Structure 1
Amino acid sequence: MHCFVYASQRKPNTYLWLAKRDDFGRIPESLALMLGEMRFALEVELTDERKLPQEDAKAVLEHLLTQGWHLQLPPNETLASANHPAYRSAPTDRSHDS
């Protein structure tokens, strides 16, 4: 699969993989706000056999095929749930924060 990788200008070492070039309308608004301005970094042909330094190519491909995007965070961060489709529709109940 041909895909496009963008670097977040706001969050160092954070990358957004897209199935279509400049298709930022596919990502959740909250994620777009978190990432800020994006800079094009790489265009790549991705297969599930390809070795990636910090990501599982099969997982990246699955996210690209099912939702059109994949979030790659620095190794020390754990927001991997943001790649899950439920992230887009998860309610934000903060009533217990009061």
Structure 2
Amino acid sequence: MNPIECVVYRCSKQQDMYVYLRADLLPADLPAALRARTGSLSQVMLLELTPQKKLARVDVQRVMAELAGPGYYLQLPPNGLVEAYVNYGGG
């Protein structure tokens, strides 16, 4: 598998959730539902991924496969602890 350049973004709506986005894409290219769930994205780093690269919490092969396909990978918080947000029209 060829190296893939990506940009890692921190999600504002969820602590410890990150989006890996292929470097030729913009956050606006993400699906609307995902953008709504992540909130604003802050760039954390630029990476060149290779099969030999070690990532702290995710398998680099899986990230590379997703970047080669849809172009992004969503890294969830440790143990899948995702905060739930309730939106209601109460007053």
Give the Cα separation in 2 of the matches to 1:22 and 1:36. Answer: 17
Q: Is the helix fraction higher in 1 or 2?
A: 1
1:27-65 C-alpha deviation (Å, 9 max, x unpaired): 221111010000000101111111111000000000000
Aligned counterpart, 1:74 = 77
Moved >3 Å (runs of 4+): none
Q: How many residues align?
A: 79
Compute the TM-score of the two structures, normalised by the length of structure 2.
0.79
- Structure 1 residues 21 and 36, CA, compared in 2 at 3 Å: closer, same or farther? farther
Aligned counterpart, 1:92 = none
Compute the TM-score of the two structures, normalised by the length of structure 1.
0.73
Listed as ranges, the gaps of 5+ residues in structure 1 are 80-98
Q: Which has the higher contact order (CA 8 A, sep 6+)?
A: 2
Listed as ranges, the gaps of 5+ residues in structure 2 are 83-91
Give the Cα separation in 2 of the matches to 1:28 and 1:60. Answer: 17
Give the Cα separation in 2 of the matches to 1:69 and 1:51. Answer: 18
Aligned counterpart, 1:41 = 44
Return the letter of the residue paired with 2:42.
Answer: R
Return the letter of the residue paired with 1:71.
Answer: L
Percent of residue pairs identical: 29
Give the Cα separation in 2 of the matches to 1:6 and 1:40. Answer: 4
Quote the RMSD (CA, aligned, Å): 1.7
